[in-house]
Amino acid sequence: MLKQVVVAGRQNCIVLLLAILIAMFFVGAGCAKAQGDTYRHLELKLVRAGFSRPMVDRALRSAPPPMFHLVCDTMRTGLGPPSYAHFLAPSEIAAARRFIEDHRYCFQEEKAEYGVDPAVISAILLVETDFGTFTGKTPVLAVFSSFAIMDRKANRDRVWWSLSPQDRKNWGRKAFDKKLIERSAWAYRQLCALFELEETRAMSVASLRGSVMGAIGWPQFLPTSLVKYGVDGNGDGRIDLNEAPDAIFSIANYLRAYGWCQAKTFPQKEAVIFGYNHSTPYVLTVLGIAKRTSEELR
Ligand SMILES: [Ca+2]
């Protein structure tokens, strides 16, 4: 009798466990469907642009849900510009110099092929990610998908009403809409670049992680920059911006394309670095680090 009760109890447990698993499956499928619906018009737009439906489906259905909070954070007003002053501390200059010494053979090749000052490349890597220490953990596919769907008023409404009354007053609805529609177009271009990377260079875009604005790897390249200026510096057949040689050569390629080799005067050099990051404090910091690093290398 006792044995029968124990067996029946086990059977009930198995049935209960199966029921939970089946419920979890349907809840998961429901979430995936809801998520797919949110991205539906974006999915159609990408397929109409010529990207393969299975690839787009697979990527967007596995992407995290739209990050409205992230979009909202970028629309908050009253935030001061970032400070770069601490990068000019002697310990930071020493780190920039050490990086050049640790990768001197790579920099020799880079200098011979691209002609870009190693001190500038090292300064950029220091400021962007502290030589790969802080590259960001946000799924870049979700970042650009979240911004890309802001072409829809319903999605902008959701961000708008998540802002504080003061932020809404500072923006005004017209300027807010204009900004988010511009960001949506920008993010869509980045998404296209991501899918191009997946199609032509076999990169798994779903696994790419980066900053909250979707910048990737040690040099914090946007996908469009990665497509255009990414270089396989160590010759292993793939471009990985989380490896020093690829990061160094890719930055060199970018700066050469923006005219570094022709830039002789300080304002000309400023203009080239401004092409990398549209921030005057950033530009002055990078050139300041590079100058001090070069002085110490002599
Ligand atoms: Ca490589």
Report CA 6 to chain centroid distance, whole Å. 56
Return the structure tokens found at 282: 């950033």
Distance 72 CA to ligand 1 centre (A): 36
203 alpha carbon – ligand 1 mean position (Å):
12
Instruction: Please say if the pLDDT value at position 20 is more than 80.
Output: no
In contact, 146 and 67? CB cutoff 8 Å: yes
Partners of residue 216 on adjacent β-strands: 210, 221
C-alpha 213 to ligand 1 mean position (Å) = 24
Distance 103 CA to ligand 1 centre (A): 15
CA of 132 to the centre of ligand 1 (A): 15
Residue 291 has a CB neighbour count (10 Å cut-off) of 16
What's the gap in Å between 204 CA and the centre of ligand 1?
15
242 neighbors 263 (Cβ within 8 angstroms):
no
Query: For residue 238, how far is its CA from the centre of ligand 1 (angstroms)?
Result: 5
pTM metric for this prediction: 0.85
The pLDDT score that the predictor gives to residue 14 is 57
Cβ partners under 8 Å of residue 212, min gap 6: 70, 73, 74, 136, 138, 143
Query: Using one digit for the tens of pLDDT, what is the confidence trace for 199-244?
Result: 888 788 888 999 999 999 999 999 999 999 999 999 999 999 999 9
Is the pLDDT assigned to residue 170 strictly greater than 60?
yes
Q: How many CA atoms lie within 13 A of 190 on its CB side?
A: 24
Query: What separation, in Å, do the N-terminal and C-terminal C-alpha atoms of the chain show?
Result: 91
Which candidate, 33, 1, 17, 37, places its Cα nearest to that of 149?
37
User: Which DSSP state fits 207?
Assistant: G
- The burial class, CB within 10 Å (0-12 / 13-18 / 19+), for 184 is buried
Residue 267 CA to ligand 1 center (angstroms) comes to 33
How many angstroms does the Cα of residue 236 sit away from the middle of ligand 1?
5
Domain residue extents for the chain: 39-297
Structure confidence at residue 213 (pLDDT): 95
